[in-house]
Amino acid sequence: MIRTPIEAVGAVVIEAVLWIYERLRAFAWRDLEGRHHEFRHVPIDIVEGEGSERWLRLDHVRRVVPELPVFPSLRHRHPRGLRRDEDGGVERIEARTLRRELTQAQALRTRRFLIWLDRVVIDPAERRERMRSSH
What pLDDT, in 10s, does the model give residues 10-55? 778 888 887 887 777 656 544 444 457 889 999 999 988 887 789 9
Is residue 23 one of the residues assigned to a domain?
no
Is residue 54 one of the residues assigned to a domain?
yes
CA distance 78 to 51: 19
Is residue 13 one of the residues assigned to a domain?
no
Is residue 72 one of the residues assigned to a domain?
yes
Number of domains in the chain: 1
Tens digits of residue pLDDT in 108-125: 999 999 999 999 999 888
Angle, vertex CA 60, rays to CA 98 and CA 49, nearest 5: 55
The average pLDDT across 62-90 equals 90
For residue 43, the SS3 value is strand
134 vs 61: which has the higher pLDDT: 61
Do residues 123 and 104 lie in contact, with contact meaning Cβ atoms separated by under 8 Å?
no
Residue 59 pLDDT exceeds 80 = yes
CA distance 95 to 106: 19
Residue 6 pLDDT exceeds 80 = no
Is residue 29 one of the residues assigned to a domain?
no
Is residue 115 one of the residues assigned to a domain?
yes
CA distance 107 to 96: 19
Give the model's pLDDT for residue 32.
44
Is residue 41 one of the residues assigned to a domain?
yes
Is residue 1 one of the residues assigned to a domain?
no
33 vs 56: which has the higher pLDDT: 56
The average pLDDT across 45-67 equals 90
Give the model's pLDDT for residue 25.
64
- The parent domain of residue 109 ranges over 36-133
- Cα–Cα distance list, 64 to 68, 70, 80, 89, 97 (Å): 9, 14, 23, 21, 16
